[in-house]
Amino acid sequence: MAKNEKPTEALDFEKALAELEGIVKQLEAGNLALDKSLALFEHGVRLARACKEKLAEAELKVSQLVKDKQGLFTEEPFREGGD
Amino acid sequence: METAAARKVLTVSQVNQLVAGMLGEYFSDVWIEGEVSNFKAYASGHLYFALKDEGSQIQAVCFRHSAQRLKFRLEDGLAVIGHGRLEVYQPTGKYQIILDTIEPKGLGALQKAFEQLKRKLEKEGLFAAERKRPLPALPRTVGIVTSPSGAAIHDMLRTLRLHKAPVQVVLYPAQVQGEGAAEQIAEGVAALCARSDVDVIIVGRGGGSIEDLWSFNEEGVARAIAAARVPVISGVGHETDFTIADFVADVRAATPTAAAQLVARTWEEFETRLRDLAGQLLEAAEQVLFEKQQAIDELTRHRAFELMAGHLAEQGHRVERLVSAAEGSARAALAGASSRLADLNLRLNRQNPVARVLRQKLALQALADRLDKPALALLSRHGVRLGQAGARLDALSPLASLGRGYSVCLKPDGSVVSRVSQVEAGEGVSLRVSDGAIDCRVERTAKHNSGGN
């Protein structure tokens, strides 16, 4: 579970949260070796931090669908008027 | 009796023509009220029915171009008020009223239409609670169908920005009132559903009169929402306005802003959950360290541990001695070999002495390793753990101590109370515990005699 640890573009928030929940449960059960516990703890901290960072850098992106001559939709940036 | 020549004989057609002319002239602008009966809608789009009251009835027609403008469906038994003109249908000589406007009597036409469509769709089960889908836990892409220039889109984007929702918005710009608006809204819902990235759709517009909001009461919009691949939030008008779109949507928000808030809230809940979990993670780790530390304390208190530590040290020394002895003998062997090497130089090609010496050295090393490994492993297991546990505990212990029920007593100036002499009866102090502070007043102080310093 600690393998695909790339908190870049495709961070799956739901999965990260579920994993974090699992880690907390494992730690709370309290029957792990210390080094295993510490490894889990560190992994958990990394997950939480990755989520936080991803959330902090998120910016609202707005586009609009525009119909072209063939009746197909293309996506264009949307700029709000009269702001 | 007049003579045949003097008689003015009219043909049937002429009579009907005259009557038609007179009726048409005198009854060109008539308001009529009555109950619809024997209603028939023809494929041509024309509507035929009778209007009647207790004592009489009249044939009525509503031609297609007028019928299309009706906001509600005619049905038998409906009391209506209509406007039109009388006309004689000359092939039969019967007269009828051609209606250009029909309104339900009592309720306004729109209100009536609303009630009718609501009843119809309700019967189909389109409003049923079990059809309602929950919003996605974490919507990434939000489709919005509304006017690109209205207050609604502005409000929604502002709300999403305000709450820092990490979402992408795809707007389907649609007219939200007037002719063709309903078709555009329905098309927008379908177009957004056709994109694989859209997780949730908001349809909405700002408040207005019932006519302004009318598109959201049209059947086409209701059907498009019902058929949507993803959950749809309606956010139409003000708090009190309910539209058909609201009934059929998975979630009804009172306003466009409220609709955007629903989306933003999913992310806020996520952040709260994340914060809670991070806290739990730290607590759990502290607990683990605390327990391990206790176990280690327990061990070190044991005399056996001291003995073992002594034993380990002794073994370590032995290993060192062995290693250096091994190295020494390897060096000696090497030295001996190299002195002989000069002599044997060319002759002993096959028994390459360097290789033999190396082999010897490796064998010795292996022996040393064998002795070395278990001892080192034991040492490192305990040593490293102790070191790590100690470091963690140092870093976390104040918190951990508070969590275990200890508290710190602070004076108002923030200094820590560690001696009786620091406080006086009546003085206020604050107990800092794991999740906050308890303000207290000193009743009296008592110094323990045994309390050394």
Q: Could you read off the pLDDT of B378-398 as tens digits, one per residue?
A: 445 555 554 555 455 444 445
> In chain B, what residues touch A81 (CB-CB under 8 Å)?
148-149
Question: Which of A35-49, B144-158, B316-330, B382-396 tops mean pLDDT?
Answer: B144-158
**pLDDT tens-digit series, residues A15-30:** 888 999 999 888 888 7
Whether B274 sits inside 8 A of A44 (CB atoms) is no
Q: In terms of domains, do B30 and B148 share one?
A: no
Residues B187 and B131 in one domain: yes
Are both B250 and B183 inside the same structural domain?
A: yes
Q: Does the distance separating the beta carbons of B157 and A62 come in below 8 Å?
A: yes
**ipTM of the prediction:** 0.80
pLDDT score of B120 more than 50: yes
Q: How far apart are CA B366 and CA B377, in angstroms?
A: 16
CB contact under 8 Å between B274 and A58, yes or no, is no
Measured in angstroms, the CA of A53 and the nearest CA of chain B are apart by 11
Per-residue pLDDT at A58? 80
CB B260 within 8 A of CB B159: yes
In a domain, A6, yes or no: no
pLDDT digits (tens, 9 = 90+) for B201-242: 999 999 887 778 889 999 999 999 999 999 999 999 876 778
Residues 6+ apart with CB under 8 A from B13: B90
Number of domains chain B contains: 4
Chain B residue numbers touching A35 (CB-CB < 8 A): 384-385, 388
Q: Which long-range contacts (CB under 8 A, 24 or more apart) does B311-317 make?
A: B312/B375, B312/B378, B312/B379, B315/B375, B316/B375, B316/B379
Question: Alpha-carbon distance B440 to B348, whole Å?
Answer: 93
Task: Give A 3-62 residues with CB within 8 A of chain B.
Answer: 13-14, 17, 20-21, 23-24, 27-28, 30, 32, 34-35, 37-38, 41, 44-45, 48, 51-52, 54-55, 58-62
Yes or no, beta carbons of A28 and B171 under 8 Å apart: no
Angle at A72 between CA A69 and CA A74, to 5 degrees: 100
pLDDT for residue A9 is more than 50? no
- Evaluate whether residue A63 is within a structural domain: yes
Averaged pLDDT of chain B: 80
DSSP for B193-262 reads HTSTT--EEEEEE----TTTTGGGGSHHHHHHHHT-SS-EEEEESSTT---HHHHHSSEEESSHHHHHHH
Q: What percent of chain B has pLDDT over 70?
A: 72
How high is the pLDDT of residue B391?
Answer: 52
pLDDT at B108 over 90: no
Domain region containing B84? 12-106
Q: Is B274 helix (H, G, I), strand (E, B) or coil?
A: helix
| Residue-wise pLDDT tens digits, B6-56 | 788 999 999 999 999 998 889 999 999 999 999 999 999 999 999 999 899
Q: Does residue B256 sit in the same domain as residue B168?
A: yes
- Are the C-beta atoms of residues B304 and B382 closer than 8 Å to each other? no
**CATH number of the CATH domain containing B180:** 3.40.50.10550
B253 with B311, same domain? Answer: no
CB contact burial B267-300 (16+ within 10 A = b; e otherwise): beebbeebeebbebbbbbbbbbbbebbeebeeee
Residue B387 backbone dihedrals phi, psi, to 5 degrees? -60, -50
Distance from CA of B394 to the nearest CA of A (A): 15
Residue A53 lies in a domain: yes
Query: How confident is residue B288, by pLDDT bands cut at 50, 70 and 90?
Result: confident
The pLDDT-based confidence of A7 (bands split at 50, 70, 90) is: very low
Residues B90 and B175 placed together within one structural domain of the fold: no
Chain B residues with CB-CB distance to A under 8 A?
Answer: 137-138, 148-149, 153-154, 157, 160-161, 164-173, 188, 191-192, 267, 270-271, 273-274, 277-278, 280-281, 284-285, 287-289, 291-292, 384-385, 388-389, 392
Give residues with Cβ within 8 angstroms of B235, minimum separation 6.
Answer: B152, B156, B202, B203, B204, B253, B254, B255, B256, B257, B258, B259, B260
- Average pLDDT, integer, range B356-374: 53
